[in-house]
Structure 1
Amino acid sequence: MSSMLPGAPWLLAHKSMLSMQPRKISLYGIDYVMWKDVGGNVHALPNACPHMGAMLSEGWCEIQSDGTSAIVCPFHALKFDAEGCTVLPGPNKKTLPQLNPLSLIIQGDFIWSYGGYEPKIPIPAVLNEIAKTYDFIGHTADASVETDLLTMLLIMHDYNHQNGTHRDLFQITEVEFHRFVDNGHHSHAFYDMPTAPYSLIEKLKKPDLFLLPSTIKAHLENHFPSLVIFHGEMPLGKAAQCHIFVPEAENRTRTYILLFGQAKNPAFQLFGSTYLKFGKVVVDQDTDILGKIYANTPQKIKLNNEVGMDWVRRNFENFPDVTEPNFSNFNY
């Protein structure tokens, strides 16, 4: 279990991702069914019906006579309330809890969980701060990737892969790394990525390309292990693109994006869906390259600017402690 960092907080969902339709959520090798009731309250139970193991996420939700919601098993239509109790046919009496609810920590629209483990590091407050000053644009790129958590985190902190993995979208020509600020489980990376210009004909065929700058100025704010925020500033406004990571199982990691924006120009809102599309393409490209890497290959070559990957490895090996000095302002 150590490879999935028990004791870390994981952002399971934003409330906009949930409804009265049951949804399967996985954490630490266990599947849960999660839903949001008519009052906006969020609930999560183990996904296997205690009768014969049917997936509750394949069932439906019903509002009961007292106004609360219940999840209904698709196999025999047994109804389970938020505490995991049901009413058996015949006696028509409510049972004791048959399912142990997953403990959730709700902060505004953010749904966190420690997966039943004792907390070892705190929930980062940065998303609450962003939600106060930015508008929520939406979510995208929700995917389960067949890779372990460490490998997923390494690729997200590999600043050299931008002009390889993401060249098709951004036409990045090089990565000009400037600075890495290390504050233990919190860090910042600053670098520029000049891009080869698209032709006018290419832009006319795909008008979204007009939104791409000639140089992408990257500021990544990292909160180990579950969150990377890309802070972007554009002529029309500022964006905070939040990449989330959740260890679903030893060799399966979930990732998704929450996008927040701060408009300088009313037109910024019109392009929200375009920025979400760009984010999805980035995740799709990262997922694709992860399927084209041989696992456990010895690394015989080290490139410049791998400080982010070193930060991940050090925090992973020492979790939950920060055993090395908190170096700051690495310049390259």
Structure 2
Amino acid sequence: MSMLEGAPWLLAHKSMLEVNKPRKISLYGKDYVLWKDNLGEVKALPNACPHMGAMLSEGWCQQGKDGASEIVCPFHALGFDGKGCTILPGTKKKTLPQLEPLELIVQGDLIWSYGNCKPQASIPNILNEISSQYEFVGHIADISIESNLLSMLLNMHDYNHQNGTHRPLFKIEEVQFKSFQDHGHHSHALYNLPTAPTTLAEKLRHPKLLLLPKIIEVHLENHFPSMVIFHGENLLGRIAQVNFFLPESTNRTRTYVLLYGLPKSFAFPLLKHNLLDFARVITEQDGDILGKIYSNTVPKMKLNNEVGMDWVRRNFENWPEIVESNLSKRMF
């Protein structure tokens, strides 16, 4: 199972969909069209029109005769409802379903899917908890990367890459690893990142540097395989930066960020765009380095504190089973 079929994937937050504007998404090597109507209801169908294969995501939305929202093919203007039915020209009756809908699980503003596979794991409740406690700040860095899912996950759980990949912006000097707590498909990693001093001139040129403490205290909460949550705090307040991963195909992975905040300063609304920009830069740097790695290289050495990568490999190789290990008992 190279794409971990049966895992729950967060396709989007509703704020990422414009009303009645179709959007193409991919999952498990299949393309779908996703759209949201005026009432906030979300539907998804295979993206290829069953007539001649036109991309439905290049079409538009309209209200059908029964009042439901339809996606309209850009080639011959056939309108398909959420069940995949259409009315052929010259007739007044709907056809049987011509397209198999993508099954969605909508929890508030969160749009989940198992990709029409048999569920092998439950949807984590952590996002509902965060949504109930934090203010939703926004979404950022929705990109597709030429990388298989495993490589993407290994990169995100490689705690030693912080002072390499992310050094240009954050000037991270070292990684001070503290602990890793293993709970099967759920884990926590805690470490500190001391940063190099910045001059006043540098801060004036890059105001976002004002938000960085001398030591970045990192708490990553991991939900295999689709989510990494950075819990942090700065002068503006507490934040929960949630990174998502979805296997678009065997060699292409989509990632994006949802940001939540708990303000403790009047300046939070004024500077929250800087927090989003941090998330964008981090995501783009991770995507950039993945394109500069020879993926077929066999590692000949092992660094300290690669426990997060070990955790990913163990869960990936044994999916969907949860395998007991002694990762949480290791000394670091």
TM-score by length of 1: 0.98
Distance across 2 between alignment mates of 1:321 and 1:65: 47
Structure-2 residue corresponding to 1:287: 287
Structure-2 residue corresponding to 1:297: 297
Structure-2 residue corresponding to 1:175: 175
Quote the offset at 1:324 in angstroms.
2.4
Quote the offset at 1:70 in angstroms.
0.6
Residue 217 of structure 2 aligns with an amino acid whose one-letter code is: K
Quote the offset at 1:331 in angstroms.
4.0
Quote the offset at 1:104 in angstroms.
0.5
Q: In 1, are the aligned partners of 2:211 and 2:235 still within 8 Å (CA)?
A: no
The aligned runs of 1:83-122 (5 Å cut-off) are 83-122=83-122
The aligned runs of 1:112-151 (5 Å cut-off) are 112-151=112-151
Residue 255 of structure 1 aligns with an amino acid whose one-letter code is: T
Structure-2 residue corresponding to 1:53: 53
Structure-1 residue corresponding to 2:230: 230
Are 1:156 and 2:156 counterparts?
A: yes
SS in 2 for 1:303: coil
Query: What whole-Å deviation, never above 9, does each CA across 1:165-207 have from its counterpart, x for those lacking one?
Result: 0001100000000000000000000000000122111111122
**Structure 1: 5+ residue runs without aligned partners?**
none
Residue 291 of structure 2 aligns with an amino acid whose one-letter code is: G
Quote the offset at 1:329 in angstroms.
5.4
Structure-2 residue corresponding to 1:16: 15
Quote the offset at 1:118 in angstroms.
0.7
Distance 1:73 1:22, change over 3 A: same
The aligned runs of 1:181-200 (5 Å cut-off) are 181-200=181-200
Structure-2 residue corresponding to 1:214: 214
How large is the RMSD of aligned CA atoms in angstroms? 1.0
Runs of 4+ in 1 over 6 A off after TM superposition: none
Quote the offset at 1:213 in angstroms.
1.3
Residue 236 of structure 2 aligns with an amino acid whose one-letter code is: L
Query: What whole-Å deviation, never above 9, does each CA across 1:241-263 have from its counterpart, x for those lacking one?
Result: 00000000000000000000001
Q: In 1, are the aligned partners of 2:64 and 2:81 still within 8 Å (CA)?
A: no
Residue 217 of structure 1 aligns with an amino acid whose one-letter code is: E
Identity of aligned residues (%): 66
Quote the offset at 1:326 in angstroms.
6.0
Distance across 1 between alignment mates of 2:232 and 2:139: 17
Residue 85 of structure 2 aligns with an amino acid whose one-letter code is: C
Distance across 2 between alignment mates of 1:213 and 1:265: 16
Are 1:165 and 2:139 counterparts?
A: no
Quote the offset at 1:330 in angstroms.
4.1
Quote the offset at 1:325 in angstroms.
3.3
Are 1:39 and 2:51 counterparts?
A: no
Query: What whole-Å deviation, never above 9, does each CA across 1:120-148 have from its counterpart, x for those lacking one?
Result: 11110000000000000000000010100
Structure-2 residue corresponding to 1:243: 243
SS in 2 for 1:188: strand
Residue 42 of structure 1 aligns with an amino acid whose one-letter code is: V
Query: What whole-Å deviation, never above 9, does each CA across 1:55-100 have from its counterpart, x for those lacking one?
Result: 0000111123433211011111111111111111112321111111
The aligned runs of 1:61-100 (5 Å cut-off) are 61-100=61-100
Quote the offset at 1:302 in angstroms.
0.3
**Structure 2: 5+ residue runs without aligned partners?**
none
Distance across 1 between alignment mates of 2:218 and 2:327: 21
Q: In 2, are the aligned partners of 1:11 and 1:110 still within 8 Å (CA)?
A: yes
TM-score by length of 2: 0.98
